[in-house]
Structure 1
């Protein structure tokens, strides 16, 4: 097997199965180190903004710079928690974090998807860090179908600005995929969980059984 990357991230909108696939990967190889989401590694600022009207802060009062910098700070602390010699498993990697901030900027500031992505990419600068294999999971390669699938899985209606944000996020993710922001993109539409997971494993080359390799 080729040299393992420093990080593997699973990315995609809500309810696409990121958590389930991350758990399966962690069970498959003890070389993986689950590192979770960014707010788990930098909880203080997230607890502070969540203590008030979180949605209003996110979509109205925060600036794009503030939100992007908070996401990047958590990302850096999460990366620093990786143990030497192990591959960190990330719930949303760098490209997905930029997608979240860009989608927020589109609905809040009225930018186009391309403009918002340029803005947050400029804020991020060169803070990519160590190598990351990023897998994007999409419910569909059509924005409206993709949104319909994930919103239908929520179990309750999304309200307020959140539906607009979610639709925009799907559009941003597909735009990123079209421009090579992810190592691989997996179309999950009409497919079983096992079938999608096989694709994820194939993109990560988790097939060989050698000393220290995946079981």
Structure 2
């Protein structure tokens, strides 16, 4: 088995398949530890902040500093839950959390993507994080198509400010991809879940089953 980093994160917009691939990875090798999303490791803080109108707190009441700090605190607590000698599997790693904070800042504060990114980067500062192999899963390498595919998979309408946020998030993620933020970027357009999972396995150096299937 390949030597793995402390953490592997799968990143991407809503409905990109992150959770499904992480579960399948965790079932393949007991050296993988499924750590999930940050709110699972800082439940009290998230429950308190998001009590009542979730969207209003996220997009109106909270400040960019407050939201970014909460995302980073959750990430730190999640990382601390990793057992020694195992590789933690993260549903949205550090780059994705910064993308989420950036996209929220754009739609909430009316900044450009560049301005919002600089703001979030300044808040995050030079905090040291554990080694993380981050893989970005994108429904398409075109921002508009990527958003349209993700929205169609939702199965229910996105309302209020959420469509604008999601469109911005896709733009931010693609910008990060061009900047080389992620260890690997996978174009998922027109591809099956199994084919994408094989690419994830191959990139990480995880053996397939003997028949070659994931």
**Corresponding residue SS for 2:185:** strand
Measure the CA separation in 1 of the matches of 2:120 and 2:24.
32
Match of residue 201 from structure 2: 201
Cα shift at 1:208: 8.4
Match of residue 176 from structure 1: 176
Task: Please give the TM-score of this superposition, normalised by the length of structure 2.
Answer: 0.95
8 Å contact kept, 2:201–2:208: no
Q: Which runs of 4+ in 1 moved over 3 A?
A: none
Match of residue 92 from structure 2: 92
Q: Report Cα offsets for 1:27-75 as digits up to 9, x if no partner.
A: 1111000001000000111101221211111101111100000000000
Unaligned runs of 5+ in 2: none
Q: CA RMSD in A?
A: 1.5
Match of residue 81 from structure 2: 81
> Is 1:22 aligned with 2:22?
yes
Cα shift at 1:128: 4.0
> What aligned pairs does 1:2-17 form with structure 2 within 5 A after superposition?
2-17=2-17
Measure the CA separation in 1 of the matches of 2:128 and 2:112.
24
Unaligned runs of 5+ in 1: 210-214
Task: Please give the TM-score of this superposition, normalised by the length of structure 1.
Answer: 0.94
**Corresponding residue SS for 2:134:** strand
8 Å contact kept, 2:2–2:206: no
Aligned length: 210
Match of residue 67 from structure 2: 67
Question: Which piece of structure 1 moves more, 41-50 or 66-75?
Answer: 41-50
Match of residue 159 from structure 1: 159
Match of residue 212 from structure 1: none
Match of residue 126 from structure 2: 126
